[in-house]
Structures are given as C-alpha cells and as structure tokens.
Amino acid sequence: MFPSPLLSFVELYRGFFETGILTAALTTSMGRISLGFALAVIIGSILGIILATSKLADETLGSLVVALQSVPSIVWLPLALVMFQGGSLAILFVIILGGTWPMTMNMRMGIKNVQPLLIRAARTMGYKGLELVWKVLIPASIPSALTGVRLAWAFGWRALMAAELLGRGGLGRTLLDARDFFNMELVIAIMIIIAVIGLIVEYLIFNPIERKVLQRWGYSK
C-alpha cells in the first residue's frame, strides 16, 4: 500500500518539468519563508537586545516571551485567518511567530552571557549606552545568535508547511490537494522536496557559516 518510490520520482519530474505544479508551489513557499524568516530574525534580535539590556523589560515582557515560546505557532493560524481573512498574510504571520521567539531567547542569552570582564574593559575604553551594545555586546553574542537564527529557520519552515495545509498555494497546500486526489506518489514527492530543502539549508548554508563564526570567535581550530 506504500507509494512506489520510482513513481514518486516520476511525479517529481512531471511536477517540475511538465506540469510546473511543483515549480509554482516551491516558488510560493520559498518566497513566504524568506520574508517570514527575515522578519523573525530582525524582530527577535531587537526583542532579545531589549530583554538583555533592560531589567524591567526582562522581568515583564520576558515572562510573556517565555510563555509564547511554549505555544506552537500553528495554534495561531485560526486567529490569523480571521485577522487577515486568509491568504499569504495569515501564513506569513504564523511563520514570524514560529521564528521570533527562539531568536529572541537566544539573542537574550547571548548578550546575558557576555563576560563581565569584557564589558568592564569596554567601559574603561569609553564605550557606553548604544555604543556598548552595538560594538561590544552584539558582536560578542554572535555565536548564540547564530543558534537562534538556525532555530528560527527550523521553526519557521515547519510552521510554513503546517500553515499552508489550511492556506492557499505552496507546497503544503499542494500536498493536501494531492492527498484529496489520492495521488500518494505526489505526496511523497513533496515530502522529498521538503526534506531536501532542509538538508540544503543546513549543510550548505548554516554549517559553513557556523564553522567560520566559531573559528572567528576562537571556539574551534
């Protein structure tokens, strides 16, 4: 009863080079994840810096962030569909929520874990306020922030696939349509695409960047 692996690769070929269904779906999904991921990293970084540098914000807003982090982003989809009346904005909203909280917490922890000696040395050299944050705290927290970026991608990618099942267009919706038409080979083909995209991003983008950052910051040879 399991779909034929050979026919799944045939569906991959047809979807990309004959019907164009998979090409259109992949283009839509990559556009959504690119924008949502970028916004999640920006928003999460800003929130993380605020929480790390403001005790009041950390004790109030920080608790809310911790609570929201435990809520799966897909839970927000029904509310997003009502707020944005369906469409890409609802899916984008879910992606941003999925990636923002891990980025926020990792950015916060990265700045919180900066060595006090380094901060005192910077203040002795005249750094203070925003200059201290921009030129000392943020660069020193880059390794932790990179972990946040990786998690933001992972959570955002999963949120995208789940949101597209109930939204319009993209790989997720195409997978659901394939299931409705009992085209299980196409379902497996889309699962292959999702897995391959994850491998490409992990091994061709994040791993090389991580090696360079760890070497630059002296964590590896």
CATH of the domain at 66: 1.10.3720.10
Query: For the segment 8-46, what is each residue's pLDDT rounded down to a tens digit?
Result: 999 999 999 999 999 999 999 999 999 999 999 999 999
In a domain, 49, yes or no: yes
In a domain, 144, yes or no: yes
Q: What local confidence, expressed as pLDDT, does residue 117 receive?
A: 83
Say which residues have a Cβ less than 8 Å from residue 76's Cβ, sequence separation at least 6.
Answer: 93, 94, 97
Give yes or no for residue 219 having a pLDDT over 80. no
Query: For the segment 132-188, what is each residue's pLDDT rounded down to a tens digit?
Result: 888 888 888 888 899 999 999 999 999 999 888 877 789 999 999 998 888 899 999
Give yes or no for residue 48 having a pLDDT over 80. yes
Domain limits for position 86: 5-216
In a domain, 221, yes or no: no
Provide the domain count of the chain. 1
Say which residues have a Cβ less than 8 Å from residue 190's Cβ, sequence separation at least 6.
Answer: 22, 25, 171, 174, 175, 178
pLDDT band at 220 (very low <50, low <70, confident <90, very high): low
In a domain, 198, yes or no: yes
| 111 vs 219: CA distance, rounded Å | 17
| 166 vs 125: CA distance, rounded Å | 55
In a domain, 197, yes or no: yes
In a domain, 203, yes or no: yes
Query: For the segment 172-212, what is each residue's pLDDT rounded down to a tens digit?
Result: 999 999 988 888 999 999 999 999 999 999 999 999 988 88
| 182 vs 185: CA distance, rounded Å | 9
pLDDT band at 127 (very low <50, low <70, confident <90, very high): confident
In a domain, 89, yes or no: yes
Query: For the segment 57-98, what is each residue's pLDDT rounded down to a tens digit?
Result: 998 888 899 888 888 888 888 888 888 877 789 999 999 999
Token pair for residue 182?
A: 């009992």
Count of CB atoms within 10 A of residue 170's CB?
A: 25
Q: What local confidence, expressed as pLDDT, does residue 27 receive?
A: 95
